Amino acid sequence: MIELNLAPGEERAFLQRRSLREEVFQLLHTRIVAGKYTPGDWLRQEDIASQLGVSQTPVREALDQLVSVGLAERVPYRGVRVPELSGDQIVDAYVLRLHLEVLSARLAARQASPAQIQALKEIVEKTKHLVTLEEMSKLRQLNKIFHLLVAEASGNMLLTKLYEMASNTFPDWMLYEYMFRHPELLPSSLEKEYREHHAIVMAISAQDANLATRHTAEHIRNLGRELVDYLGVPGNLLQDREQQIAPLLGLN
């Protein structure tokens, strides 16, 4: 555990700054997911600080956090912007995520501790009632935690690190942004997501590696269909890449 060794006044300042950083992060996160910032838009530290009436420090820290979770990218000597991904890049991220998610779930069904299974169940139940557009930012973060917990339950630290890197390149925020523009799709999409996450946890809890594999593959493949239907990713490209790795994962 890291000890800060701060004086009382410094502790208060640290906590206030940390809280402000989190508030700025949440605001920018929501703007990106809601489509107020679009792919390719620059996130100017000075402009954001001025708009929000805060110093540049919490804005800089919030931008760093956005980069770390994949909602922004840092371009050397130019600044931070919302990622602008090609169809090939999106498919690459999808295929890698499919591979790592299936492997993680299979191992988790054999390795997960009771505490890890309970944590997964609690995360799924927390998402059950997040059904409004205003809650999409929180839902996205909980979903990322859910999938990372599955990777951690695999018992393989390197796999967990690889998964975290891969998930940060997957454009799930673009799918959430699509929901903001088509709110009529939200109820059915979120209900399906909840059912799929619940099925994955139940399979892991039952220590059924084959069932965990099937449910996880179905869940990620459904995300792949959304990439095609919502974001216009070429379906034939995604299908071809899927078929290349299917035998490696024991998928049909």
| Within a domain: 219 | yes
The amino acid occupying position 2 is I
Q: What is the CATH number of the domain that holds 30?
A: 1.10.10.10
pLDDT exceeds 80 at position 224: yes
pLDDT at 31: 84
Residues 59 and 174 in one domain: no
For 132, phi then psi, to 5°, come to: -110, 160
**pLDDT, tens digit, for every residue of 103-137?**
999 999 999 999 999 999 999 999 998 888 888 87
User: Residue 236 is encoded by which pair of tokens?
Assistant: 């034939």
Residues 240 and 140 in one domain: yes
For 74, phi then psi, to 5°, come to: -95, 125
Q: How far apart are CA 249 and CA 247, in angstroms?
A: 5
User: Residue 170 is encoded by which pair of tokens?
Assistant: 């997957």
Average pLDDT estimate for 206-211: 96
Residues 162 and 227 in one domain: yes
pLDDT exceeds 70 at position 11: no
Average pLDDT estimate for 206-232: 94
Residues 194 and 117 in one domain: yes
**pLDDT, tens digit, for every residue of 46-60?**
999 999 999 999 999
DSSP 37: S
Structural domain including 22 reads 8-81
Considering 46, 81, 116, which residue would you say is the last residue of a domain? 81
pTM for this one? Answer: 0.77
Confidence of residue 215 (pLDDT cuts 50, 70, 90): very high
Neighbours of 68 (CB within 10 A): 11
pLDDT at 252: 62
